[in-house]
Structure formats: structure tokens, C-alpha cells
Amino acid sequence: MEMRKSILAAGAILVAAGLAFTGCSASPSGDSGGASTKVLTVGMPNGPQSPNQNPLATGSASLSLGYAFVVYESLMQINELHPTDDPTPWLAESVEWNEDSTQATITPREGVKWSDGEDFTADDIAFSIQLRKDNPELNIDFPDQYGDISVEDGKVVVGFTTSQYVNRDKLYKLLIVPEHIWSKEANPVEFTDDEMIGTGPFLLDKFTPQSVTMKPNPTYWGGETKVGALRYDTFNDNNGLTTALTTGEAQWGWTFIPDYENTFIAKDPEHFHQVAGGGFGVDVLFLNNETKPFNNVAFRQALNLTMDRPEISKKAGYGVWPVLTSVTGLPTPTGDAFIDPQFQGQETEVDVDAAKQILTDAGYTWDGSGALLDPDGEKVTFVLTNPAGWSDYLSALDIIAAGAKELGAEATVEPIVQDTWFNDTIPFGNFQASLHWVDNGSTPWNLYSNIMDGASYVPLGETANWNFGRYNNPDVTAALAAFKGASDDDTRAAAMKTIQEAFVNDAPGLVIWQRPAVAQYSTANYTGFPTAEDPYANPQPTGPQAALILSKLEPTK
């Protein structure tokens, strides 16, 4: 397996401050005419929000709707659509890694101020990282992996207990908060951050559970934004946001729109656009490996053989989410170079007869009505669950349930409240099967780690950040650690072989389709969004790239 050489340079790797900075050292839009009064409304289908602006707390309103990313900024900008591209300096002028990726030296950008007038310094970066180290609930990206964090000669030196070769992008994407504000909080996990003092191009103006308005930051280090009116509206479901996008009520967002060309773009072909890009994103049917029926590998294998992925992509994904073909779960063509030779060319398929044979060999039987009985003689039943209103997921679950019934298993689809799914169902393992995405990244490590990593394992009832299905295979855990810590291609290839063999043979979770980053936007008020011809960033508004995209936008003439 040939790994991509562009990301395997030995020795210290420097992300140079001399990289192009998208013109943000002056006016981000390159126009001295001042901000426009036109409104840019970002829409998300996430339902009413509670007044929590904490940019570090999973599930907060500011993260859910995305406005955290225009108030708080990341160290670097990365292009998730082209994961091997060099990052662009942002709050950090440079990040230098040692040879084994266990230490990063961060040089902060000079001349940046917090929105309350205080200077931004290296101490803010060190504090923001230490805050995550000291509060596991805020440390999703590097759990138990931070070492010493210090400021030396105006630079931040961050040590890690293990190699972070596969996680460099996560460091670049960390949002930085002001020490002089957050150090006063006894419980940063529950801090609601009502004032939102940041370095970004916008400030919080007004909050309601349905709509949040932002105003330009007059002292923004990147110059005056041309977007003079920014609002975030939340809608109850995909259909609500789709309607808002097609009527122009919302001009930027991301949701699943069936038949988007006719439903959305055809309403205003001059201004309405949908853009998607590659990467390692996939959606996974997480299976609870510790409860029936998915604690039996035979049933997981059998269900995998009933998954009609082309039909799921066509009928539930309307082609927006491309078909997943490789048995390794890797999206193509991004993942082709990482597929172990034994799995090259092996594609997913439906084979109900083979699935029934696997079950028979494992001691399953069928009663007179055709219902599947497990080796204990109990009927095989399970519930597939996802938030109500997530139409693509729920339609996919219907097709998966129909496949299970081909085996005699009784599968039902139960939509639930989104907040319950985010805050209870998924983290505590209170489900049998549920669709969820995985992290992107510059290698397949995040995809497999999110599904299979024993390093993320916690018992049912405890909060899991990943590995929601509680798969726990010491060999896979060791292989993921070996891939992450290796400095040569051969070691990574051997680790990937172990990982993919377990993924194929154990079916710990079932990847259903590729999930490129998708966004919809209107150019009626502003132009400059990422396009298929110029995919300069993940086009979605809910990530650190929002600050970069806003720096590119110009009022439509």
C-alpha cells in the first residue's frame, strides 16, 4: 500500500507563516467600500436552542448553529476537501512539529486583540489547551493525550503523550478563548459564555431560541468584513430549512435536500447553489456491540450482507451521498491508496442467502412463521433510531430495516427528539442501531478510530466521545495506535492491514455511504462562497472555516 508521500516528510515539519493568507491582513473582501447592509442568514435544522454560547461544550447553541466560529477562531485554517494540503496560518503564524509528532511549537499571530480590547497572546493559546486537558468533558480531540503545555519565548510548546501524526488537523482547528475571561470561571464546562469575547469577525448581538443576530467586530485583526448583517436561524427539521433556502429566507446552510436540483436550484438557477467535496467523511450505522442482537458477530455480518447500498444512496440519499463500494468502508477515490491489497477490488454486495448461511452456522434458526431466532431461542428484534426530521437518515433506516426482515429479523424505525439523541442516546449507548457520521482527517485513521478504537471505549452508561458501539478488540486498538505513532509507510501499512481485516470480518459498524461536505447557498446578497471550481474550504458554515469564507464574501452587485 503506497501512502501519500506529501504527508510523510521526516523531521521537523513547519507550517510557514509565509503561506498565502487569503488577503486578510487588510480588508478581507479587498473592497474599501465598507460593510454591506444586506443580510446573510445562516440556517440549520437543529430546532430551538438553549441560551448556551460556550464554544467548547458539545451541544451548545453556538456550536450547533455555528456562530461560535465567527466569534472564536482556530490556530490554522485547513481545507478538509483536500486533507493533504498545507494549512493556512490564522491565529497562529506557524506550527512546528518534532520528528515523531509528539510536540508542537505554536507561534501566535501578532497584533490581534480580543473584542474587549485586551491583547491576544501566547498565554491565551496555552490556557485554551490546558483548559481542555484539565476538563475531559471539553477534550474530545485529545483525550488523555496532552503532556506538558508551556509558554517559552513567546511561543506555546504543547507536548503529547503519543504521536499526533494523524491528529495535527485537530490541533489546528482548536478554538482559542481568552484567559482573562475564562480563568475566572470555576466550571468552564457549564459556563454559558453570555458575552462571547472573541478574536473573530463578529460579535454576539441578540439571542433567542429561534434566531441569533451578530454584528461586525470593529476591531477585527483581519480587517472590516463586507458582511454587515449576519443572522443564524434554526428550523425544526430538514424540510423547514429546505423551505427557507428555497424562498431565500436563509442564504447559507447545510441540510439534506432530496432531488436538490429540482427542489432547490431550479427555484433560482442564477443564485441558488449546492456544492460538495471529498475527504474521508462517511456515515456509519453504529451497532451496540454489547447488547442483543449485535453482541453476536454473526448477526452483524449477516445484516451487512442485506444492506443495499446503491438503493440507500439512490432512494434515501438521492445521489447526494455517493455509493460506498469498498468492503473496507473507505470512500473513493480519497481512500484508494490506503486499501490493503487483499481487499483491493472487493466491493459491498447484497447476498441474503450467504447471510442466512452465516446465521445457520452460528446456531440461529427460524420458527414456523419465518421469524429469526437467536442461539438462545429468542426472536431477533431491534430498533433503529435517529432524530426526527433527519429525512435522509430515517429513509436509510427504513431500507436497512427492510433488509433485516429478509432474514426474519423484526426491525423498527423510531425517530426521537434531537437533543435526546445528542445528549443521551448516542453518548451513553442507549440504542441498538443508529446512524452517525465520523470525523474527517488527512488519513483513514479517524474513520476507523471513531468506529473501533478501544482507546475510546467506555462501559455502557458512561459518556463515549467516539466508539459509540463499544467495540473492543485489543489487536485493533494496538494497530490504531501503531498507525498513529509510526514514522514510516511499512509500519502504517501493517497496521492498516490489521484494522481493515477486523473491520471486514467483525462488522463492528456498517458504513452506508460516503459523506462529502455539502452546503447550500444563495448568491443573491453575497458572492465568494466555495465552488466546485474553487473548493478552497469546506463549504459548511459550522466549522472554523466560517471565518475564512466570510473573509472572501463580497456584496452581490
Residue span of the structural domain in which 464 resides: 282-514
Position 239 in a domain: yes
Asked if residue 226 has pLDDT above 60, the reply is yes
Residues 84 and 66 in one domain: no
Residue 22 pLDDT? 34
- Count how many domains the chain has: 3
User: Within a domain: residue 128?
Assistant: yes
Kindly provide the b/e burial profile for residues 23-48, where b requires at least 16 CB atoms within 10 angstroms of the residue's own CB.
ebeebbbeeeeebbeeebbbbbbbbe
Percent share of the chain, pLDDT over 70 = 94
pLDDT of residue 411: 98
Residues 432 and 286 in one domain: yes
φ, ψ for residue 467, nearest 5 deg? 50, 50
Residue 10 lies in a domain: no
pLDDT tens readout for residues 462-495: 999 999 999 999 999 999 999 988 878 899 999 9
Query: In this predicted structure, what is the pLDDT of residue 33?
Result: 52
Which of 143, 170, 193 lies at the terminal end of a domain, its last residue? 193
Q: Can you tell me the mean pLDDT for 304-311?
A: 97
CATH number at residue 265: 3.40.190.10
Question: Mean pLDDT of all residues in the chain?
Answer: 91
Same-domain check for residues 409 and 509: yes
Q: Are residues 222 and 368 in the same domain?
A: no
Residue 397 within any structural domain of the chain? yes
The burial class, CB within 10 Å (0-12 / 13-18 / 19+), for 229 is middle
- What's the CA gap between 255 and 45, in Å, rounded? 7
Q: Would you say residue 196 has pLDDT above 90? A: yes
Q: How do residues 54-108 score in pLDDT, each as one tens digit?
A: 999 988 999 999 999 999 999 999 998 877 788 999 999 999 999 889 999 999 9
User: Are 58 and 86 part of one and the same domain?
Assistant: no
Same domain, 291 and 411: yes
| One domain, residues 440 and 545 | no
Q: Is residue 325 part of a domain?
A: yes
- Confidence band (pLDDT; 50, 70, 90) for 525? very high
Q: Write the pLDDT tens digit of every residue in 314-355.
A: 999 987 888 999 999 999 888 888 999 999 999 999 999 999
The tens digit of pLDDT for each residue in 106-157 reads 999 999 999 999 999 999 999 999 999 999 999 989 989 999 999 999 999 9
Q: Which residues have a Cβ under 8 Å from the Cβ of 211 and sit 6 or more positions away?
A: 231, 232, 233, 234
Nearest CA-CA partner of 55 in 230, 218, 173: 173
* Residue 105 domain flag: yes
The answer on 68 and 86 residing in a single domain is no
Pull the grid cell for residue 135.
476538563
Task: Provide the pLDDT confidence category of residue 5 given band limits of 50, 70 and 90.
Answer: very low
Tell me the one-letter amino acid at 154.
G
Domain check: are 184 and 208 in the same one?
no
pLDDT of residue 258: 83
Same domain, 145 and 173: yes
| CATH number for 95 | 3.90.76.10
Are 354 and 427 within one domain? yes
Task: Please indicate, yes or no, if residue 5 is contained in any of the structural domains.
Answer: no
Residue 108: the pLDDT is 98
492 shares a domain with 430: yes
Would 28 be classed as within a structural domain? no
- % the chain with pLDDT above 90: 81
- Which of 166, 193, 220 marks a domain boundary? 193
Pairing, β 36-44 against β 252-253: parallel
Distance CA 129, CA 479 (A): 27
Instruction: Report pLDDT digits (tens) over 241-278.
Output: 999 999 999 999 999 888 899 999 999 999 999 998 77
pLDDT tens string 7-65: 222 233 333 333 333 333 333 333 445 678 899 999 999 999 999 999 999 889 999 99
The pLDDT, as a whole number, for residue 256 is: 85
CATH number of the domain within which 508 lies: 3.10.105.10
Residue 399 has pLDDT above 70, yes or no: yes
